[in-house]
Amino acid sequence: MSTAMNFGAKTFTPRAPDKGAFPLDHFGECKAFKDIFMTCLRDNKCDNSKCRLQSKKYLECRMDHQLMTKEPLEKLGFKDLMDPPPRTAE
């Protein structure tokens, strides 16, 4: 007796999730940024609000190396860490 169940000929086509999963850093291109971020989390008892700058740098590295989709940092919650636009002399 077979335990496999076949409920029809429908084929499942996997697709990547919209957000939340991205390729692993197999070549360690962003390892230094990740290590700095993880050290910050350990030093601050996993209070990620104290490690936002390190998190921003890590995500920038991942985007620069095509390990995640490039997104505006404002959209990722780092609007308050962005450099203000340069002021023009009038």
- The pLDDT, as a whole number, for residue 61 is 95
pTM: 0.67
Kindly tell me if the per-residue pLDDT of 20 is higher than 90. Answer: no
Q: What pLDDT, in 10s, does the model give residues 30-53? A: 999 999 999 999 999 999 899 999
Kindly tell me if the per-residue pLDDT of 56 is higher than 80. Answer: yes
If you write DSSP's letter for every residue of the chain in order, what string do you get? --------SPPP-----SSS-----TT-TTHHHHHHHHHHHHHTTT-GGGGHHHHHHHHHHHHHTTSS----TTTTT-GGGSPPPPPPP-
Considering the chain, what percentage of its residues have pLDDT values greater than 90? Answer: 43
